[in-house]
Amino acid sequence: MNATTLHEKTRSRGRPREFDTEAALDAALRVFSKRGYHAASISELTEAMGLAAGSVYKAFGDKRGIFLAAFDRYRAVRRGLLDAELASVETGRDKLHALITFFAGSSHGEIGRQGCLVVGSAGDLALFDEEAAERVATAFMTDEVLLADLIRLGQADGSIPSDVEVSATSLALLCLTKGMRVIGKTGRSGEEMAATAEAAMKLVT
């Protein structure tokens, strides 16, 4: 073997395996959402991600690293979808309705049974991992602030009554929307969740 061939083989071995990180994380979050953090095994994750264990460890470190990266990916994708829904309507009330309907739509059928990675993490991992707990708390706070902002927007444009108490109502809606994702794992129908969304809007009537 000449020096050039040896150099090329050495360089090839040292080069990290290229893969679609977002697709791999999407596959991992499906495993975590279905199985939970503790029940999900590395073998399940690597198989779902379509990667060799060595590539997974090199890219993410360990199962916890995979989870945290998948959590961030999940939040980014969901927020992008939600922002698109909110941009399609004008008034604060309509935006609030779009947000609640967005959660209701994720709380039935196959996606409903898959569950919410944020809600699942609150009980499955956050109690034992400070960094995960911070991510969950930030996710909940971000959603609560958004709810409050939409109520205030509705009050400013006249679509939501001015006597609606912003802090208590936004927290109540946070609890309701996250609760939808829990109930959605039990196989409720789309009609039931849509009716729940309409009932939730009575809090801002």
Tokens of 177: 């929307």
pLDDT at 100 > cutoff 60: yes
Identify the weakest region by mean pLDDT among 49-58, 76-85, 118-127.
Answer: 118-127
Residue 158: CA count within 13 A, CB half-sphere: 0
Instruction: Give the residue-averaged pLDDT of 84-104.
Output: 98
pLDDT for 141-167, tens place per residue? Answer: 999 999 999 999 999 999 999 999 999
d(CA 134, CA 194) in angstroms, rounded, equals 31
d(CA 193, CA 176) in angstroms, rounded, equals 11
Residue 34: CA count within 13 A, CB half-sphere: 13
pLDDT at 79 > cutoff 90: yes
Q: DSSP string covering 119-148, please?
A: HHHHHHTTTT-HHHHHHHHHHHHHHHHHHH
Q: DSSP string covering 101-117, please?
A: HHHHHTSSHHHHHH--H
Identify the weakest region by mean pLDDT among 52-66, 108-122, 173-187.
Answer: 108-122
* Residue 126 confidence class, pLDDT cut points 50, 70, 90: low
More confident residue, 128 or 101: 101
Phi/psi-derived region of residue 91, left when phi > 0, alpha when psi is between -120 and 50, beta in every other case: beta
Nearest to 37 by CA among 126, 140, 134, 109: 126
The residues near 187 (Cβ < 8 Å, ≥ 6 apart) are 108, 112, 113
Q: How far is CA 201 from CA 41, 53, 83, 123, 176, in A?
A: 41, 47, 19, 28, 11
pLDDT at 121 > cutoff 90: no
Mean of per-residue pLDDT scores for the chain: 89
Instruction: Give the residue-averaged pLDDT of 100-123.
Output: 89
Radius of gyration for the chain, computed over Cα atoms and rounded to the nearest angstrom: 21
